[in-house]
Amino acid sequence: MKRTGVWVALAAVLLSASCASTEPLRISVPPLLGAVPVVLASQDGWGLFADEGVETVMMPLPGRRDRMLAFEAGQIDVLVTDLVQALILVSRDDSDAVIVGASYSPEDTAEDAPLPAALVAHSDYAISGLEQLVEKAAAGHVRIAVPAASDLEYLIDTLLQANGLTPPTSAYAGEDDLLLNMIYVGLGQLGAGVFPQPYGELIMHYGHLILPEDEVFEVLADFSELTVPQTVIVFRRSLLEADRQKVAAFFRALDTAVERLNALPVDEQLDLGWKLTAELFLPGQKPEEMPPGFRQQVEVALEALFIPEFSRPKPVDPDSFAQVRAWAKGKGYIERAMDYSDVVVPPVRENAE
């Protein structure tokens, strides 16, 4: 486990940011930890896709819905996303989507790291626990920032049900943009929110960088009782079938990115992070234009954040797949319960079947 904030800065590229086919591989990624290896392998990072002979184009799209629509419209070939959104894609009639492994598996995180997600409440709402959160939300006194049809919604629903509570779904609010949700909760416009790391850690310990200094927050749950779903990689099935060589090269580049990232000294990680800027959490701010004192604060925050020792992309966990699939079907997000083997394949590293 390394304590550093490189991924925060890398996430800015997530928002902006020879094989059998000569067409470039169009990739879109979210501001999530699981997208870091993809960004590092791209031309905005270390150029590892190019080293494997794969031309890539990073497609900058503002939110999950935009990425979903672009994939369905044939404008994206590869999508890094959460498991719920991937299930929605592969469940569509005549879907051309297939889940090809996981780019990040939270269970790989070391014991001393912050857990992969947190349920955070603003102290002004005086919420002492899950039961009080549900009571106040059901009475209309608290709204909860959680993106609809997401792994985060799955987590809060499952957590509350595991504690004998009925999820107050009418109180779910917020945006796809996790930074906006963090600001809404930070300013008290929403009483609580569900955040993946490092958003939860940022709002608890470094909210003063973007929020008033007197704001105080409480962690109501860390989801340690649950298996947090993996971040997955979705490919066009037609591309996988037609150009397996390109897909194999893609995963070889990711393997190299993971190995290089894990071996990178902390100071080099931070330097790389600054080069790519921290626009995810400080939109429009350039390191060289920041006042010296403010930049020092940001550097302290970046250095204090955790980035796990990544594992190479791995197969999607079948048990987690089944649990999330059952929840998504019960919520009406998918119309059919697909078999794992029909919509999931392991990461491809060989050129031929």
pLDDT at residue 14, rounded to an integer? 42
The span from the CA of 88 to the CA of 319, in Å, is 18
Q: Which residues of 176-185 are buried (b: 16+ CB within 10 A; e: fewer)?
A: bbbbebbbbb
The pLDDT of residue 264 is 82
Residue range 95-138, pLDDT digits in tens: 999 999 999 988 766 555 566 789 999 989 999 999 999 999 99
CATH superfamily of 117-221: Periplasmic binding protein-like II (3.40.190.10)
**Summary mean pLDDT of the chain:** 83
Distance of CA 210 to the CA centre of its chain: 21
Tell me the backbone φ, ψ of residue 278, rounded to 5 degrees. Answer: -110, 45
pLDDT digits (tens, 9 = 90+) for 246-271: 999 999 999 999 999 888 886 776 66
CATH class of the region 2-108+229-282+308-345: alpha beta
How far, in Å, CA of 140 to CA of 199, rounded?
A: 25
Given the DSSP bridges, would you call strands 344-345 and 144-145 parallel, antiparallel or unpaired? unpaired
Minimum mean pLDDT range among 48-57, 111-120, 177-186:
111-120
Residue 17 pLDDT:
39
Q: For the chain, what's the residue count?
A: 353
Number of Cβ within 10 Å of residue 213's Cβ equals 7
Report the distance separating Cα 122 and Cα 246, nearest Å: 47
CA distances from 77 to 27, 72, 99, 247 (A): 6, 10, 12, 11
Q: Which residues pair with 80 in a beta bridge?
A: 233
Decide if 2-108+229-282+308-345 and 117-221 have a common fold: yes
Residue 11 confidence class, pLDDT cut points 50, 70, 90: very low
Model pTM greater than 0.75? Answer: yes
Residue 92 Cα distances to 96, 229, 241, 308, 332, angstroms? 9, 21, 19, 34, 13
pLDDT in tens, 211-234: 555 567 888 998 988 999 999 999
pLDDT computed for residue 3 by the predictor: 41
In this predicted structure, what is the pLDDT of residue 190? 95
Please tell me the distance from the alpha carbon of residue 282 to that of residue 232, in angstroms, as a whole number. Answer: 26
pLDDT of residue 179: 80
Residues 313-328: what's their mean pLDDT?
96
CA 35 – CA 29 distance, rounded (Å)? 6
Predicted pLDDT at 51: 97
Q: Could you give the percent of the chain with pLDDT greater than 90?
A: 53
Quickly state the pLDDT bin for 336 (edges 50, 70, 90). Answer: confident
Handedness of CA 320, 321, 325, 326 (dihedral sign): negative
Q: Quick one: pLDDT band at residue 16, thresholds 50, 70, 90?
A: very low
Q: What is the per-residue pLDDT across 270-318, written as a single tens digit (0 to 9) for each?
A: 666 555 444 344 445 555 666 666 666 666 656 656 667 789 999 999 9
> Interhelix angle for 6-15 vs 266-276, to 10°?
30
25-40 burial: b if 16+ Cβ within 10 Å, else e:
bbbbbbbbbbbbbbbb
Quote the DSSP letter at residue 121.
Answer: E
Tell me the average pLDDT across 48-64.
91
Ordered by start, the domain boundaries in the chain are 2-108+229-282+308-345, 117-221
Kindly report, residue by residue over 139-153, the tens digit of the pLDDT: 999 999 999 999 999
- The Cα–Cα gap between 314 and 219 comes to 31
pLDDT band at 13 (very low <50, low <70, confident <90, very high): very low
- Helix (H) or strand (E) holding 285, with range, is none
**Both tokens of residue 182?**
């963090």
Q: Across the chain, where does the E strand assignment appear? A: 2-3, 25-28, 56-58, 78-82, 97-104, 117-122, 144-145, 172-173, 192-196, 217-221, 231-236, 306-307, 344-345
User: What is the distance of C-alpha 64 from the center of its chain?
Assistant: 10
